[in-house]
Structure 1
């Protein structure tokens, strides 16, 4: 849709007789636009009108309006003609749309203008009402324009589709957008975007994705269309196509924002390619595009964990934990260190978790600490930690089993507890 300023500028051209549209035939029958006789204003009014035209040609719009507003037409045709001119000039003045609409409506309601003038005024009323967000009024005048002129126009259908969309009438939006597309002589993404938005708002995501495909195919050089297509595939839960599309965008250098890079990394992970996801995450973290905070570092650690690259997962969990002294991530780090049989480092991580912020399960931490001490041969410390863990209802049963096992092992090795 044109901007309000562009629309109002175009409106002024209608005063000078410039066509605003290149319509297609709407019906084979004889139309009212063709049966209207050409009429001229009275001599008295004509002199004022001529002077107004001259002033307008000299860019003296206010003076031209002054001439027209002084006219007190006696005949209905003269009144309609002058009202149309006044309305058209006001339409070109910022902030005077309501005044323009009032005068143009007078001209249309009198219903005596010549065929082309009456048709153009109907369409102008539609355009101005769209600009003023009077969508039902706009639709009414566009329908009158089509009926009166027996013409169709791709831009009129596009604006009608836009009005229906704003009114949340999505099936009618789709129908009108299709008509706009049918009349196009060259691709215009406006009606396609409206169709996609209508399907999106009505939660028909696979259909929205199909329209996004059309947009990317017709306008392949616009980077945002590829991102948009990938997003629609995600909504339609077609994650493979979403990843394929985002990967194309990445290779073409179309990704710019942090959210776009995060989306690509997420898609690699969803498609069970965690190593590639982790590399993308490292890329945008090292570039500074995305801040190294607890959330982004823990996500990277988790992704490396999924990729079974435990050393890197341990490193990034430690970095994530250090930012806010987070017990949660120290515990995850400790668990992975136990898997790597790095029991000394695991013991250190558990103690950091116990001294950190937000520890939810102290019994679990004591149990992990008991195991780390045990595998290091530190049976007294392991026994103390296991006893502490046995006092927590969540770990009591496991801890009691470990207490017995630690005692048996210590006795066998001659270590007094």
Structure 2
């Protein structure tokens, strides 16, 4: 993109230099003016090699004549796609000091841009800074400072990049992608996360369809602890139909959950392509439904997880117990087979049977729990149920 901009500028400069030669012919010697007119005519006829040869073989001695010919050669070499000779010719023209005012400024600008096009960044910079000291009113000062910032960016001088962008900003140009992108890149390299956030928001306003701007914004908001802002940005990106990866959607779900909206988290996870087959995604979704107190959805989701791993029957049983669905809970507890959970299963069955007023089976389960793994809870149930049974026996005797 930078090369395209430079080429456009050089076309503008070279065209103006050719069409205005007759205006400055009076400053040339008569011999030089005739040669310049001949070379110009050949160039207009696309005979660039002949135009170049005409100037190279001309016998000129005056300083201004030499500088002017060097400038013309620079233009012709560039038009003939001979970049290095063009640079050498323009360097001679600039170094002579013979070209003044706008003519001299444009010549040095052309040299700086050609050096940049040829990736001679460090050589281009001094010329750009020299140009910045006295910018003609006819020239675009903001564009020059943008170019300076781009050169600093190319050689990874991040603070100087931002300094040049600050000069560019003084000209109050409308927001544009190129300067904002350069600014953002330097801010990120310097880890200035807070400063980069408003830059990204401006880029999003200009290119709302670009997913990388949205995702970078979310990343920076997370880095700076702005989780609510990150949720808003990622949620808005989804509403804007930005294509989000499964990892992005999972992050969105986690942000919804972190910000107290677990039901939205569950809905987002349902959109993932592996939502029905990835156990981690299924169990994460089940937890969100539980937090949202969507009990039926939580049970259904744990049931799906249990098809892949039987240990999740325990999660279903716990919800059923919590919801006082004791008959269903007892059936589900039959599916919990892990040895390490048998004491807990027996205690859960104890409670369910007690709630169903089945005291004798409940006492049997309490004793079973205590035999597997003695605990205060099991002993309390045994004591309590034994007392209830005695009281009931006394009532019936």
Q: Which residue is 1:334 aligned to?
A: 314
Equivalent of 2:49 in 65, 82, 91: 65
Root-mean-square deviation (CA, aligned residues, Å) is 4.4
Q: Which residue is 1:307 aligned to?
A: 292
Equivalent-residue separation in structure 1 for 2:112 and 2:156 (angstroms): 19
Equivalent-residue separation in structure 1 for 2:44 and 2:370 (angstroms): 95
Q: Which residue is 2:28 aligned to?
A: 40
Task: State how 1:11-410 maps to structure 2 within 5 Å.
Answer: 11-17=10-16, 39-40=27-28, 43=31, 46-47=34-35, 49-58=36-45, 60=46, 63-69=47-53, 71-74=56-59, 75=61, 76-92=63-79, 96-147=82-133, 149=135, 153-216=141-204, 219=206, 228-251=216-239, 253-258=240-245, 260-282=248-270, 284-285=271-272, 293-316=278-301, 319=304, 330-332=310-312, 334-341=314-321, 342=329, 344-345=331-332, 348=335, 351=337, 365-372=338-345, 375=348, 399=373, 401=375
Equivalent-residue separation in structure 1 for 2:332 and 2:80 (angstroms): 75
Query: Which is richer in helix?
Result: 2
Equivalent-residue separation in structure 1 for 2:302 and 2:148 (angstroms): 55
Q: Is the Cα contact below 8 Å between 2:256 and 2:265 reproduced in 1?
A: yes
User: For structure 1, which runs of at least 5 residues remain unmatched after alignment?
Assistant: 20-35, 352-364, 391-398
- C-alpha spacing 1:80/1:338, structure 2 compared with 1 (3 Å): same
Superimposed CA distance per residue, residues 383-407 of structure 1 (whole angstroms, 9 cap, x where no aligned partner): 99999xx8xxxxxxxx4549986xx
Q: Is the Cα contact below 8 Å between 1:346 and 1:372 reproduced in 2?
A: yes
SS of alignment partner, residue 341 of structure 2:
helix
Q: CA deviation at 1:237?
A: 1.6
| TM-score when normalising by structure 1 | 0.67
Q: Which residue is 2:353 aligned to?
A: none
SS of alignment partner, residue 11 of structure 1:
helix
Equivalent-residue separation in structure 1 for 2:202 and 2:195 (angstroms): 11
SS of alignment partner, residue 4 of structure 1:
helix
Superimposed CA distance per residue, residues 268-314 of structure 1 (whole angstroms, 9 cap, x where no aligned partner): 222121111222232x33xx598964554444334334334354345
Superimposed CA distance per residue, residues 345-394 of structure 1 (whole angstroms, 9 cap, x where no aligned partner): 4554x55xxxxxxxxxxxxx42224533665579999999999xx8xxxx
Q: CA deviation at 1:144?
A: 1.3
Which has the higher Rg, Structure 1 or Structure 2? 2
Q: CA deviation at 1:68?
A: 0.2
Equivalent-residue separation in structure 2 for 1:239 and 1:297 (angstroms): 24
Equivalent-residue separation in structure 2 for 1:211 and 1:54 (angstroms): 49
Equivalent-residue separation in structure 2 for 1:43 and 1:291 (angstroms): 86
User: For structure 2, which runs of at least 5 residues remain unmatched after alignment?
Assistant: 19-23, 322-328, 350-360, 390-397
- C-alpha spacing 1:279/1:89, structure 2 compared with 1 (3 Å): farther
Q: CA deviation at 1:157?
A: 0.8
Q: Which residue is 2:325 aligned to?
A: none
Q: Which residue is 1:394 aligned to?
A: none
Equivalent-residue separation in structure 1 for 2:6 and 2:64 (angstroms): 27
Equivalent-residue separation in structure 1 for 2:281 and 2:34 (angstroms): 74
Q: CA deviation at 1:165?
A: 3.2
- C-alpha spacing 1:51/1:18, structure 2 compared with 1 (3 Å): closer
SS of alignment partner, residue 263 of structure 2:
helix
- C-alpha spacing 1:223/1:67, structure 2 compared with 1 (3 Å): closer
Q: CA deviation at 1:142?
A: 0.6
Q: Which residue is 1:358 aligned to?
A: none
SS of alignment partner, residue 340 of structure 1:
helix
Relative contact order (C-alpha < 8 Å, sep 6+): which is higher?
A: 1
Q: CA deviation at 1:11?
A: 0.8
Give the total of aligned pairs.
356
